[in-house]
Amino acid sequence: MKVGLFIPCYVDQFYPQVAIATLEVLEKFGAQVHFPASQTCCGQPMANSGCEHDSINVYKHFVQCFREFDYIVTPSGSCAHHIIKHYNIVEQTEVVKHIRANTFELVSFLRTILKVEKMDISFPHQVGLHLSCHGQRGLRSSNASEITPDRDGEMLRLLKTITDIRLTQLDRNDECCGFGGTFCVAEEAVSARMGIDRIRDHIKNGTEVLTGGDMSCLMQLDGIIKRQQLPIKVMHIAEILNGQKP
- Pattern 57-96, binding to other proteins, x per CB under 8 A? xx-xx------------------------x----------
Of 49 and 126, nearer to other proteins (C-beta) is 49
Q: CB 91 → other proteins: shortest distance, Å?
A: 16
- Rounded distance between C-alpha atoms, residue 157 and residue 142, angstroms: 10
Number of residues that bind other proteins (CB under 8 A): 76
Cβ atoms of 135 and 51 within 8 Å: the answer is: no
Candidates 47-55, 106-114, 162-170, 201-209; binding stretch for other proteins (CB under 8 A): 47-55
> φ, ψ for residue 74 (rounded to 5)?
-140, 140
DSSP SS3 for 142: strand
Give 229's contacts (C-beta < 8 A, 6+ positions apart). Answer: none
- Rounded distance between C-alpha atoms, residue 117 and residue 111, angstroms: 7
Q: CB 106 → other proteins: shortest distance, Å?
A: 14
> Distance between the two ends of the chain, CA-based, in angstroms?
32
Candidates 109-117, 121-129, 131-139, 206-214; binding stretch for other proteins (CB under 8 A): 131-139
When binding is defined by CB under 8 A, the residue of 80, 96, 110, 176 that contacts other proteins is 176
